[in-house]
Structure 1
Amino acid sequence: MSVDRELDAAAITDPVLRSAYRNCRALNAQHGRTYYLATRLLSPGQRPAIHALYGFARWVDDIVDEVHDGRTTAERAAEVSRVDAALTDGLATGTSTDPVVAAVVDTTRRYGIPHDHFRAFMASMRMDLTVTDYPDYAALSRYVHGSAAVIGLQVLPVLGTCVPRAEAEPAAAALGVAFQLTNFLRDVGEDLDRGRVYLPADELAAFGVDRELLGWARRTGRSEPRIRRALAHQVARARAVYREAEPGLAMLARRSRPCVHTAYRLYGRILDLIERADYDIVSHRVVVSTRGRLAVALPAFAKAALGAVG
């Protein structure tokens, strides 16, 4: 289905807003292959709002993550401040002229998304400008709340629930955290290249691992038993958070379940690949193949189609 038909289904008629939603859809498609594939399982009217929320998040995340693009930390901080000011003003007034923020503001208004979720997100994005590691899981959790848990809470009103929304919120937040923990493991090598470690330092130390050893593995491409054991511990935690989130799948509106279940399975498959690689992932990134993604997604498309008919 074309983007114009999705925007029509969502009753988005203003030309400026339609352009902003198109921008967000492009950002989501470019940077979030798993998320983007999963959104195809939503009803056409739901997709623009999800693209707005995920596209905006990816856009800001890229501002702080592209540390090799020639911009200084001060320049990236200034850009984050500019976006934050545009978002704050847009949420306060209900409108924005920014070509990306406008769609987020409109989605927030349409679905009554609490503004605090966006403030928490921007706070975590600012942390990425200065914080390069985390002493323990409690400290990491404060970052993850804003970078991931609130994303689950943002999209929940768009997805809809079959129970009171407050009942589904803990599981939605947990699923955002589970996805983020998976990303930390998948991207551990790339994050090292950016000078960051998103794994609790005290837990790494318990296995005899520190930043220097991780850097050695990244540079040499060699495996190290202590690192593998430390990463196995982190995979076990991520799986525990997935189990915490799983009951929330049945709390979603029927039409949204295939989408979220597909994302749940695809991200879980990343952990499977990490285990199959014997946790030797510092020097290379595991990726779910296109064939693997389709093997998960195609049955879900059939279920979604039946759900739409039913």
Structure 2
Amino acid sequence: MPNAARAELDAAGITDPALRAGYVVCRALNAHHGRTYFLATRLLPAARRPAVHALYGFARYADEIVDDLGDARPAAEKAAEIDLLGLRLRQALAGERAEQPVLAAVADTARRYALAPTLFADFLASMRMDTEVTAYATFDELGRYMHGSAAVIGLLMLPVLGTTVPREEAEGPAAALGVAFQLTNFLRDVGEDLDRGRVYLPTDELAAFGVDRELLAWCRRTRRPDPRVRRALAHLVAHTRAVYRRAAPGIGMLEPVSRACVACAFTLYRGILDQIEAADYDILNRRVSVPRHTRLAVAVPGLVRALAARARS
């Protein structure tokens, strides 16, 4: 076990060896797949980090069931596995011992922070949609999917982060931030999602610019940009920036020791939109990311603020 992981678990008072092993698995998933999230998580007090790792690890574990490009199983089998995951999670939340390490960790986190089981159910319902739905006609349709796949993640995080206002006041911005992050992912990953047979960008928004799935697939296949696609993506980037603006007031509603973490994730994830613009929206055959030096330039001042907030708490 890495020393940093051991220190986090000790600070959180997690002593059961099996639970510690589950949290370590979740931490490794966060470190490997969620570079921005993992970096931001390091700005939290050590005692709160395992819970964030557990929530990320569970979300990633479920996502891999439906999105693993190397998994050629029929959609019905993946849907059945999501259903089984939901059953196992409900059993774990009810107090039964979970054999799967990620489930053991997330169930422990749910108990420690009194997280609502309905939020996990909403998340898994959206994951199941990924086995059945390949396109969304409007933002309203997409919003129903994103409530479970993104907004509830923000809501699950709130008890871990803590608030200085009544929690229900912070829920709107927290949900909006989850949606902003996911819309950013949809824009960054539009080419990879095409390979999975899905288009998350609303059909009517694309059609307003003369874009459809076939044109996106042609751009992906030929590696050639198209001005209609560029204009559609520019429009959707602007829409996503507006969602970030709705989410921004929520950072000040968090406990001071948590603000640097969320501000870091906010800045770096919004920075992906900057990289999409810098690439002139030619992103169907490349995965843009925030450069390492930029991540460090954001994270280091954030660490200073986080340490100062801990000293005052």
Q: Normalising by the residue count of structure 2, what TM-score does the alignment of the two structures yield?
A: 0.96
Greater alpha carbon shift after TM alignment, 23-32 vs 46-55: 23-32
Structure 2, unaligned runs of 5 or more = none
Runs of 4+ in 1 over 6 A off after TM superposition: none
Instruction: Please state if 1:198 is matched with 2:200.
Output: yes
- Write the distance in 1 (CA, Å) between the matches of 2:101 and 2:230: 44
Give the RMSD, CA atoms, in angstroms.
Answer: 1.2
Query: Which whole-Å CA distance do the structure 2 matches of 1:264 and 1:208 have between them?
Result: 32
Give the deviation of 1:290 after TM superposition: 1.4
- CA drift of 1:94 comes to 6.1
Take 2:293 and 2:80, find their aligned partners in 1: how far apart are those partners? 41
Partner of 1:32: 34
1:20 alignment partner AA:
G
Match of 1:178 among 180, 186, 189: 180
Instruction: Read off the aligned partner of 2:154 and give its amino acid letter.
Output: G
1:168-226 residue CA offsets vs partner (Å, 9 max, x unmatched): 01000000000000000000011011111000001111110000000000011111110
The one-letter code of the counterpart of 2:267 is R
* SS of residue in 2 equivalent to 1:129: coil
Q: What letter matches 2:235 in structure 1?
A: H
Distance 1:39 1:113 in 2: 19
Q: Does 1:268 find its partner at 2:270?
A: yes
CA distance in 2, matches of 1:31, 1:71: 23
Please tell me the residue identity of whatever aligns with 2:175: A
What is the distance in 2 between the residues matched to 1:125 and 1:69?
16
1:281, distance to aligned residue in structure 2 (A): 1.2
Measure how far apart 1:91 and its partner are.
1.5
CA 1:95–1:164: 2 relative to 1, 3 Å: farther
Q: How does 1:1-310 map to 2 (within 5 A)?
A: 2-93=4-95, 95-310=97-312
Q: Does the 8 Å CA contact 1:174/1:245 hold for their aligned counterparts?
A: yes
Which SS does the other structure have where 2:131 is aligned? helix
Greater shift after overlay, 74-83 or 56-65?
74-83
Amino acid at match of 2:187: L
Q: Distance in 2 between matches of 1:135 and 1:92?
A: 38
Shift of 1:93: 2.7
State the Cα deviation string for residues 114-133 of structure 1 (Å, max 9, x = none). Answer: 11110000000000011111
Question: Identity across aligned pairs (percent)?
Answer: 62
Provide the rounded CA distance (Å) in 1 between the counterparts of 2:133 and 2:274.
29
Which deviates more from structure 2 when the two are superposed, residues 90-99 or residues 263-272? 90-99
Task: Output the CA distance in 2 between the equivalents of 1:258 and 1:79.
Answer: 37
CA distance in 2: counterparts of 1:183 and 1:283, whole angstroms: 15
Q: Tell me how many residue pairs correspond in the alignment.
A: 310
Query: What is the Cα deviation at residue 67 of structure 1?
Result: 3.2
Deviation, structure 1 residue 96: 2.5
- State whether residues 94 and 105 of structure 1, in contact with CA within 8 Å, keep that contact through their aligned partners in structure 2: no
Amino acid at match of 1:218: R
| 1:82 CA displacement | 2.1
Deviations 1:254-291 (A, max 9, x none): 00000000000001110011111111111212111211
* SS of equivalent to 1:2: helix
Distance 1:14 1:174, change over 3 A: same
Measured in 1, the distance between the counterparts of 2:192 and 2:96 equals 38
| Separation in 2, partners of 1:17, 1:284 | 38
Q: Distance in 2 between matches of 1:307 and 1:203?
A: 43
The AA in structure 2 aligned to 1:37 is L
1:197/1:28 CA distance change after superposition, 3 Å: same
Cα deviation 1:115-170 (Å, max 9, x = unaligned): 11100000000000111110111110000000000000001100000111111010
| SS at 1:113 equivalent | coil
